[in-house]
Chains A and B, each alone.
Chain A
């Protein structure tokens, strides 16, 4: 039915035109309805999507809180520094040129190309589009160099960041700890729920323990960007300012701390010290030698730094806090605990005398006094004064089956958690019958529990492993009449405006019954040991104007030289502070540890003259 080309319209053509008109109406209806659907029915959804499209949020770092000593002296604060950042969108798009630029950048930032790539991958995965921080705390010379050569380094920018500043160098480094970028494992902890990779958290020391107070809340900057992610000028969006972290006040007294560190450094041997208030457990000084500069951790470590910090022979590792992590026998300083155990289990009274013939022989094995001395008939006070080994050997022998020595050592805190607010701590080891026999079955030790084991423990030798902090707690408990204090460094949290937000006064760990007559006898013995002629440390403390009660210790650690210990309570007879010092391979207690303790006390009493009660003084019950 082909149409004629005569210009007359047939019904066929009219039908075809009608169909086309119908189709046109249908197509336009589709467009109109679709337009109505998009703009009127779901317009608000698309408007929201458009706004999400055009805005980018960037985190703004919050400064960390300061750490102060008990007098308000600043131990850690912030300084603003420059961080080297790369904007991934502005890097050359050609892979080869990109690689070259990243390699050049890495060389400037002392990073290997592999490290650069790993850093970028890590941060891109979390916040695509945000600038990537390659290295914090770069020097101004590098920044100037980059600015002068900006053409050669497209996409590189510099951002102000906060870096911890340590005005006193390595002072209290082990207490303070360091700050570093959060790692993957830490990110998974519930404590760090709101943190993102690249954030700084405390690593070790009070920086870690009190991290949630010290850490500020990061803010956000919202900017408008175009499709390439480039900021567009002239648009103000609502931003959330960062909230600075709160500051932490420690119980530390900087001058005492400094004296202790100098005393140890003067000996030049690995060691540790702690000075603690016997009543409430506030730590006035706590240190370990060798030490380190916490500021080295604000930048990537150089190879020599890594070698000196981590690859030292274990005995010298400077990052170890020997005051809380050390595992040492204590020598004669343990005798206070042996005396407490013997008195309370009825083995002796303060007046009981034991005749010292120079040695105690048990089962064919002889235990001699050190130096081959023999003191004749001695009671508790004189035995402590001269540090008579045979007297305490005898006590150890008499208690070898009863477990009283272990019971009292445990009560006084040996070989168990101290509760200190430092992440670095070791519980140590208190040898007992059960332990010895279990280890014997496992083949770790040579024989079953024998009198010799307990005799050694009574004088702080053998398998005993403890540290200055635990010993200080034991002495403090006896000195304060039976309260086992919780050692702590954190005292109070202030917000950035100076308001007190929180005060820390942890309750005692437990109470131990300490008979006042036993306490008096033991302290008298220790006092005479320090300040009566013939006492073991009379040579060191005889001339010290403050009455003190101190005990030397000489722990045998063959094949090394003896380890020197000194623990001193002061002022006698109502002690306020306890100071424990140990020096590895320092020889006799009076040889190196006691002089170091003297320097600490001199610093303390130089500031707190004899008459005053001190900041946390008061007499024990």
Chain B
């Protein structure tokens, strides 16, 4: 079993006055996890510095400067969280959940609109998108509720309760409308339930209901004349099935992204990258940044980024197994699955095998809320790792 595996010797923290390294908890952090996250944000800054020179007239470093600030803030946030015992978050579950729902609901009142969708608060220097932080808060709160309710009610009641708790904020986000983030909420909810031990048969029922829902939304409802999705949404969801069919409309972006990635070939086109440089691929600093990487740096660059994510997820899944308590397992599982979901859906969208849903690529897409929230989530993972290490040592440092 995991617990009995022989570990590399760690420096013993018996110094009278612990140094800065010691006080940051660095010796007990999972180095590959932290390094892969830092490598991803560094690569993001590198890509933005080369690909967005002309995006903001007169300010070639607009995106780079901001992404560097978000990265530094994110790393600081991650380090700060490592010093907190994540187990305390369980006590804050109701507060988290309330904050999550209220902040998303307030968007409808105070939020700023961008492209027909209200997703963020306008703050000085920064527009804050609560649904990004919400991914982490939902996992922390829901994991607490699962542990609370583990002995109450029947299995079926519990399953329904968790589903309702998870889907309420997801529905709020869906109404912004932000389909992509609400799907991430759904994935995180299912992940927490999965590690919370919800029966396989219940998952089979949920899966069946999902398939039925998709069929109804995309096929049945339009057929009977009451479409539930807006026309462009339905088009975006289905056009990936045959992106080159009509390059002028729904499948255009995706087709252009495909051409961009394909044209990168093995080693990339560098500054000859016309697809992403000449505006054929939209949203090149956010949703379609993977297409930029694919075109500029070819298979080498794109596979490098994918490998970093593979490393990051491997370490995250490993932390699921290491956690000293069940709450940590649930939290780590929820975070790992939501990261996996975002990476797969975003890269899959760039590669033309998933629908366009507007999910950013964690740590690589430009955007303060997403970068910060992802680093905070990794900070929680680190906290779980550190606590596990310390409990194995038989002592609690803080």
Interface residues of A (CB under 8 A from B): 1-7, 9, 12-13, 16-17, 20-21, 24, 27-28, 30-32, 34-36, 38-40, 42-47, 49-51, 53-54, 224-228, 232
Contact = CB atoms under 8 A, between A and B. Distances in A.
Given A40-B299, A46-B258, A232-B278, A20 B317 contact: yes
Given A13-B329, A35-B306, A227 B321 contact: no
A46 B278 contact: no
Interface string B333-377: 100110010001001100111000000000000000000000000
Interface string B127-159: 000000000000000000001001100010010
A20 B337 contact: yes
Interface stretch (B108-116, B227-235, B262-270): B262-270
Given A47-B263, A53-B275, A39 B313 contact: no
A54 B274 contact: yes
Contacts of A6: 326
B298 interface: yes
A2 B310 CA distance: 31
B262 A3 contact: no
B324 A7 contact: yes
Contact of A21 (B197, B317, B325, B326): B317
B347 to A, nearest CB: 5
A39 B306 contact: no
B306 A32 contact: yes
Contacts of A224: 274, 278
Contacts of A227: 256, 278-280
B258 A38 contact: yes
Q: DSSP majority for the A interface?
A: helix
Given A34-B351, A50-B260, A39 B310 contact: no
Nearest to B337: A20
Contact of B155 (A2, A17, A40, A44): A2
A1 B260 CA distance: 50
A43 B263 contact: yes
A42 to B, nearest CB: 6
Contacts of A225: 278
Contacts of B266: 39-40, 43
A21 to B, nearest CB: 6
A38 B317 contact: no
Contact of B306 (A31, A44, A47, A232): A31
Contact of B262 (A45, A51, A226): A45
Given A20-B337, A28-B310, A38 B262 contact: yes
A500 to B, nearest CB: 47
Contact of A5 (B147, B263, B295, B352): B147
A40 B265 contact: yes
A77 to B, nearest CB: 42
Nearest to B281: A227
A3 B333 contact: no
B167 interface: no
Interface in B1-34: 1-2
A53 B259 contact: yes
Contact of B259 (A9, A34, A50): A50
Nearest to A35: B302
B121 interface: no
Nearest to A49: B259
12 contacts: A5-B150, A27-B344, A30-B353, A32-B303, A35-B303, A39-B302, A43-B264, A43-B266, A47-B265, A226-B279, A226-B280, A227-B256
A38 B150 contact: no
A505 to B, nearest CB: 56
B255 to A, nearest CB: 9
Interface string B258-294: 1111111110010000110011100000000000001
Given A3-B150, A13-B195, A40-B265, A31 B155 contact: no
B320 interface: yes
B99 interface: no
Interface string B234-253: 00000000000000000000
B43 interface: no
B62 interface: no
B327 interface: yes
Most buried by A among B1, B2, B158, B299: B299
Contacts of B303: 32, 35
B262 A16 contact: no
Given A31-B306, A39-B264, A16 B194 contact: yes
Contacts of A226: 278-280
Nearest to B309: A28
B204 to A, nearest CB: 14
Residue picked from B147, B155, B262, B280, most chain A C-beta under 10 Å: B262
Nearest to B3: A9
Nearest to B347: A31
Contacts of A39: 261-262, 264-266, 294, 298-299, 302
B274 A51 contact: yes
Nearest to A43: B265
Contacts of A49: 259, 262-263
The list of the 5 closest CB pairs from A to B, nearest first, reads A46-B262, A43-B265, A226-B278, A50-B263, A227-B279
A38 B259 CA distance: 9
A50 B275 contact: yes
A26 to B, nearest CB: 10
Contacts of B302: 35, 39
Nearest to A41: B262
B36 to A, nearest CB: 14
Contacts of B1: 9
Nearest to B252: A227
Nearest to B353: A34
A24 B317 contact: yes
A232 to B, nearest CB: 6
A51 B263 CA distance: 9
Contacts of A24: 313, 317, 340
Contacts of B194: 16, 20
Interface in B192-207: 194-197
Nearest to A226: B278
A34 B353 CA distance: 8
A44 B280 contact: no
A462 B75 CA distance: 109
A4 B151 CA distance: 9
B116 to A, nearest CB: 18
B262 A42 contact: yes
B265 A50 contact: no
A375 B230 CA distance: 104
Contacts of A35: 261, 294, 299, 302-303, 306, 351
Interface string B158-175: 100000000000000000
B225 to A, nearest CB: 29
Given A20-B194, A32-B306, A3 B347 contact: no
B310 A38 contact: no
Contacts of B313: 24, 28
B293 to A, nearest CB: 11
A45 B336 CA distance: 36
A1 B202 CA distance: 13
A37 to B, nearest CB: 9
A180 to B, nearest CB: 34
A565 to B, nearest CB: 68
Nearest to B344: A27
A53 B263 CA distance: 12
Most buried by B among A4, A12, A35, A232: A35
Contacts of B320: 17, 20
B91 to A, nearest CB: 14
Nearest to B323: A7
Contacts of A31: 306, 344, 347-348, 351
A538 B386 CA distance: 130
A158 to B, nearest CB: 26
Contacts of B347: 31
B373 to A, nearest CB: 21
